[in-house]
Structures are given as structure tokens and as C-alpha cells.
Amino acid sequence: MQEYIFLLRNNRNYRHLWLGNVVSQLGDWFNLIAAAELITELSNSGVAISYLFLARFLPLFLFSPLAGVLADRYNRRNLMVISDVLRAIVVLGFLVVGVTGQVWVFYLLTVAQFALSALFTPARSAVVAMVVDRRELVTANALDSFTWSTMLALGAFLGGVVAAVFGAETAFVLDALTFVLSAWFISRITLKVVQALPGEESQGGWLDFVDGFRYLWGRPYLLILSLIKATGSLVWGAVNVLEISFANNVFPLTMFPLAAALHIEDGGTASLGIIYVMSGLGTGLGPLFMRRVLGSRPPRLILGATIGMALVAIGIWGLGAAPTFGLFLLATFVRTVGSGTMWVFSAVLLQIVVPDRYRGRVFAFEFAMLTLTQSISTLLAGVLQDSPLWGLNQTALLFAGMGVLFSFGWVSFYSWSRQNSTHERVQAFWSAGD
């Protein structure tokens, strides 16, 4: 833990980037809890919940290529500040939905919010490698993951309480305020100017995107690494829908005697908050533990991501098979240990090996593929759980089976990389940058 404190204490730029992340993610979980409650009130169906996540994911896929080009052409700090300010304005628009009850307005505003998030995310991923020493990249990304999970746990709990006690509108207002505060923190970051080498000047928006994709296509090993999150999200993306349904229909907190004693009326929202708390613990502790066991060398990071995929499959199988809420939470912990490890280790690998001039586009490509597979997964999960032929538990087991297949794929990739000494080239990238 000392290395994380040391990084925050001694790196001013990363500290401001981290603080902006803290408050913004806290608001994000307020927003998700409130959005889930609002959608459940307006249309309690699996497909309607799937549409909520599609409205969050598809803009990220569609706008990420443009966002990656912008992140490599313009000041990344300014792009993040602009994104935060505009998202604060959009989130305040959710208050209209509570008054009118028009679901289409809610979906439209969600699309606008996450189109702006597509601008923010690749820029931030690229900035981490600009403000942190290469030897501290694993530390910084593990801390980011731990922060995400902590804010997930805290934000989900507080968001559930605020939404249940004060209503979804209050949660939306608080989310807007967190974006403003995040913009202020990020505006205090100082970034060094990276000069383009001869022949590397910008060619124009679309050509810049093509050039970034050509860079990945010419390095198949990096292309595969950039798809780690995408393969994982094709499996764990379904959980976004399934968790809400499990919380509301299978394990609502009102079914427990303690809930009556505490006068808890909205049992589904309360259970969802508890599930997110457990998710936060798993995604936070998982990468830290795996890093301590495996270390930080690139081949070990690949091995960690492979193990993470297997844990995701085991955890999702547990969701569908769990007879009690306690076992459901245990399965959630196992699943999120796996997903958190995949997330952190894949990010570090790309930050190590991709030159700064390409990082925005590479992370945008990674993010686009991630959101595409999440969109497919969430839509399929919503349709299947509403189908009389499948149902909720069977849908979870189906995605667990998909996770097992992908696990074998990553095991094969890891074995192939060792046999061909491909990992030695990655270690060379560690020192040379490319």
C-alpha cells in the first residue's frame, strides 16, 4: 500500500487525475442506480434494461474512433475538461424524464452523455502513461482499478440510499456536480508537449484513424492484446442486465426479515447496491492480489489476464447456480476478481508497448471493441432472459459456457506466445517503446 501512497504524494499530475476520477466515478454509480430504478418504474422488462445499457455502450463504440484521433491531435487535458462540463449539463437533463415519464428522452440523453464519455476515456488512458513513470504503470493502473471498485462499492451503496430515500432526481443532481468537480481537478494537470517526429504529422481525421489501425494491424500481437477487454466484456457484459433482474426478482432485500425491521421498501434497489459493493471489493482486491502473486513482467501480465478470464466464467456460472443470496455474492466476488485483473493487466500492457503518438487511437480502438461486445452481450442477455425457452438462470449459465470457451482461447494464446518467444519482443518494447 505504501507504493500507492507514495505515487499520490509525489506525483502532482497523477494526484489531480486520480482525484478527478474519484469524484466522477462516485457520481457515475449514483447515476446508474438511479437510472436502473427509473427504468424499472417506467418499464419493468429485461429488454428495457438492455436498452439502457445499449444507450450507454453504443455511443462509446460509434464515437471512439473520432475520440481517439482527437486525443492524439489535441491537448488531452482540455478534451477531458470539456467532456466533463458538457456531461454535467446533459445529466441535469435527466430531471425532465422524471417529470414527463418519456422513456425515449431518457435514452436520448444517455446516448449524449456516453458520446461525451467516449471523448474522455481514450484521452485519460493515454494521459496516465504521460504523467507516470513506466515502472509505476502497474501501480497507477492497479490504483485506478481499486479506486473504480471502491467508488463502485461506496457509490452503489450511497446511490441506493439516496435513490430510495430522496429519489432518483437527487442522484442525478449529485452526478452533475461530480462532473464539475472532476473538470476542476483535471484542469490543474500540466502535460508536457510531445513533438511529432518527421513524417508523423497529422494527415487529417479519417486518415489519422486509418493510420492508427494500420499500426495495430501490422503488429498482430498488439492487436490481440487490445482485444483482451473485448473478449471479456462479451461474457461479463451480460451481467449488467442479469444483476438487476436477480436483485429485483430473485433476491430482493424485502424477502429477508431484517429488511422489514429496517423498513426497507425498495428491496430490489437495496439488493443491487449490495451486489455492487461486492463487485467493488472483487475488482479492487483482485488486481492487487494477482500482481503480488504474478509480478509485473509482460508475460506474467498476459498470464494474469488469462487466469482472469477463467475466473469470470466460474463466477458467472455461480450466479446462475447460486441457491442463496450469500452464494450469489460469493460468485460475484470471484467474477469481479477476474474482470478486474483482465482490465488492469491489459491496460498496462498497452501503455507499456504503444508509443505516445498512437496511444489515443489504440485505446480508442480497444474501447470501441469493448463497448461493441458489451452491447451485443447486454442485448442478447435481455432477450434471452425474457424468453420462455431460456429464463434468467439459464441465460447466466449460457454466458458462463462462453467464458469457458474464451478461457481456452487465451490459454492457447499464452502457450503460443511462450513457445515462439513472442513475449521477449514485448519485454524489448518495455525498454525501447517500440
SS3 82: helix
168-210 pLDDT per residue, tens? 778 788 888 989 999 999 999 987 655 444 444 444 444 556 6
Q: pLDDT: is 214 or 427 the higher one? A: 214
Under the banding of pLDDT at 50, 70 and 90, the label for residue 430 is very low
pLDDT at 200: 47
pLDDT above 90 for 225: no
- For Cα atoms 307, 312, 318, give the angle at the middle one, nearest 5 degrees: 130
- Percent of the chain, pLDDT > 90? 10
Cα gap 254→246, rounded to integer Å? 13
In the chain, the domains with their CATH numbers are 10-191+205-432 (1.20.1250.20)
Under the banding of pLDDT at 50, 70 and 90, the label for residue 16 is very high
242-298 pLDDT per residue, tens? 887 787 777 776 555 444 444 444 556 677 778 877 887 888 788 888 888 887 777
Residue with cell 466515478: 25
Contact 329, 274 (CB under 8 A): yes
pLDDT at 385: 77
pLDDT above 70 for 431: no
pLDDT at 205: 47
pLDDT at 19: 92
Which set of grid coordinates corresponds to residue 110? 444517455
- Percent of the chain, pLDDT > 70? 82
In 10 A of CB 117, how many CB atoms?
A: 22
392, HSE (Cβ side, Cα atoms, 13 Å): 19
Under the banding of pLDDT at 50, 70 and 90, the label for residue 432 is very low
- For Cα atoms 99, 108, 58, give the angle at the middle one, nearest 5 degrees: 145
In 10 A of CB 11, how many CB atoms?
A: 17
Phi and psi based region of residue 193 (left: phi greater than 0; alpha: psi -120 to 50; beta: remaining)? beta
Which set of grid coordinates corresponds to residue 175? 452526478
**Cβ-count burial 410-423 (b if 16+ within 10 Å, e if not):** beebbeebeeeebb
Q: Which amino acid is at 249?
A: N
Helices in 187-266 by DSSP H: which ranges? 205-217, 220-225, 228-236, 239-245, 257-261
Residue with cell 428522452: 105
pLDDT at 210: 67
90-135 pLDDT per residue, tens? 988 888 876 666 777 888 888 898 888 888 888 888 888 888 887 7
356-392 pLDDT per residue, tens? 778 778 887 887 788 788 878 888 887 887 777 777 7
CA atoms 401, 405, 407, 408: torsion sign: positive
